[in-house]
């Protein structure tokens, strides 16, 4: 690690051949420094990752996973599988969905995300999902067994209004559901 007067008073600890410092990042943050490659990770005192694998990151650094839902063997629709009220700050979000419809019996099911967009307009939108191993993209799993996946990126306003992800429509079959809500910026 380079020796200079600005680093003489900081605490230094060696961990598995890496040097961890208490002031290498911004005031009170943490830096992880590799003698062979330079700084490999920087975390601010507020917990944001600014550098990872020696690559400078933008905005929040990593996407923040805000809420998840995972359940198998569902026989009914799930209202508000994810319900999350964000801080009152305009942001970019991503929802990722996995649905495994086990049998093609009487299914007319969708996945719906409800939020308030960047212009302050309340939205309730059906997610387009890709049916795995096919070229099919659908918002409705209409009497079709199989695995459906998709991601949807959207911007929210600064109102702090709840974001909800639900299964909607009708179903009389068993299905599995996995939902992840992330904040990107």
pLDDT at 134: 87
pTM: 0.75
pLDDT at 104: 75
Domain ranges of the chain: 5-56, 64-183
Between 123 and 29, the higher pLDDT residue = 123
Between 61 and 112, the higher pLDDT residue = 112
Q: Considering Cα of 135, then 140, then 143, then 148, what sign does the dihedral take?
A: positive
Neighbours of 131 (CB within 10 A): 19
CATH architecture, domain 64-183: Sandwich (2.60)
Taking only the tens place, the pLDDT of each residue in 116-139 is 999 999 999 999 999 998 888 888
Is the per-residue pLDDT at 21 higher than 80?
Answer: no
Is the per-residue pLDDT at 46 higher than 80?
Answer: no
pLDDT at 28: 58
* Average pLDDT taken over every residue of the chain: 82
Q: What percent of the chain has a predicted confidence (pLDDT) above 90? A: 49
> What's the chain look like in SS3?
CCCCHHHCCCCEEEECCEEEECCCCCCCCEEEEECCCEEEEEECCCCCEEEECCEECCCCCCCEEEEEEEEEEECCCCCCCEEECCCCCCEEEEEEEEEEECCCCCEEEEEEEEEEECCCCEEEEECCEEECCCCCEECCEECCCEEEEEEEEEEECCCCCCEEEEEEEEECCCEEEEEEEEECC
């Amino acid at each position: 690690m380079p020796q200079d007067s600005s680093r003489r008073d900081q605490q230094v600890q060696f961990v598995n051949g890496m040097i961890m410092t208490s002031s290498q990042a911004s005031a009170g943050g943490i830096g992880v420094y590799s003698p062979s490659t330079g700084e490999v990770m920087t975390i601010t005192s507020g917990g944001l990752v600014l550098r990872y694998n020696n690559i400078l990151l933008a905005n929040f650094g990593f996407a923040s996973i805000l809420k998840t839902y995972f359940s198998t063997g569902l026989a009914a629709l799930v209202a508000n599988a994810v319900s999350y009220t964000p801080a009152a700050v305009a942001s970019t979000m991503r929802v990722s969905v996995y649905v495994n419809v086990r049998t093609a019996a009487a299914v007319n099911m969708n996945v719906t995300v409800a939020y308030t967009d960047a212009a302050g307009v309340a939205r309730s939108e059906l997610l387009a999902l890709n049916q795995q191993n096919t070229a099919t993209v659908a918002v409705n799993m209409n009497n079709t067994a199989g695995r459906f996946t998709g991601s949807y990126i959207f911007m929210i306003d600064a109102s702090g209004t709840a974001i909800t992800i639900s299964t909607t429509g009708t179903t009389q079959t068993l299905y599995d559901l996995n939902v992840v809500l992330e904040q990107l910026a």
